[in-house]
Amino acid sequence: MGGAFGGYTQWAVVFLIIFVLFFLFVPSIGGGGAASSCAGGY
């Protein structure tokens, strides 16, 4: 609890949540074409 590592873990969780939400919302906005090619390349 606390410390540099605790702060880093908190930021990592926040970034992961934003990344997941971005991947969920991109197909509905862009029609899924860019998202599928991106996921395939990844």
User: Which pLDDT belongs to residue 9?
Assistant: 87
CA distance 8 to 40: 29
pLDDT in tens, 1-42: 566 667 788 889 999 999 998 888 877 666 655 555 555 545
Show me where the domains of the chain are located: 3-41
**Which of the 8 DSSP states describes residue 1?**
-
Q: Is the pTM of this model over 0.75?
A: no
Q: Which residues contact 27 (CB under 8 A, 6 or more apart)?
A: 35, 36
DSSP sequence for 2-42: -HHHHHHHHHHHHHHHHHHHHHHHHHHHHTTHHHHHHHHH-
